[in-house]
Amino acid sequence: AQSVTQLDSQVPVFEEAPVELRCNYSSSVSVYLFWYVQYPNQGLQLLLKYLSGSTLVESINGFEAEFNKSQTSFHLRKPSVHISDTAEYFCAVSGGSNYKLTFGKGTLLTVNP
């Protein structure tokens, strides 16, 4: 069985500041890792994923996450946030069956002007 811990339920930041959203997971098998984003009044969307290969993965809108096996972490970072990044971010893991995602409780990122 897998589990995901998102250490911060809310992260308020100012526009153009850097941000890190933390995610730790536990699993007894090798995993795939994901970040999903939910903008206000929209459905969940895949932001980025780690399946294999390079441990640093990037999204098209400037976010990146690094898979750290020894620390069982997959933290999400962005060097300079925009107001439009305000959303809830969910870390998720799949392992074993590979089709069943286990989600964290989410982190609400609020970017203030």
CB closer to other proteins, 13 vs 44: 44
**Cα–Cα distance, 106 to 5 (Å, whole number):** 9
**Cα–Cα distance, 113 to 99 (Å, whole number):** 39
Nearest approach, Cβ of 14 to other proteins (angstroms)? 25
Q: What's the residue count for the chain?
A: 113
- What is the CB neighbour count within 10 angstroms for residue 3? 11
Nearest approach, Cβ of 16 to other proteins (angstroms)? 29
Q: What is the largest CA-CA distance in the chain?
A: 43
CB closer to other proteins, 17 vs 46: 46
Nearest approach, Cβ of 82 to other proteins (angstroms)? 23
CB closer to other proteins, 80 vs 98: 98
Nearest approach, Cβ of 42 to other proteins (angstroms)? 7
Contact positions vs other proteins (CB under 8 A): 4, 6, 32, 34, 36, 41-46, 49, 51, 90, 92, 94, 97-106
CB closer to other proteins, 37 vs 81: 37
- In 3-state terms, what secondary structure has residue 83? helix
Q: Which residues, 6 or more positions from 15, have their beta carbon under 8 angstroms from its beta carbon?
A: 81, 82, 83, 111, 112, 113
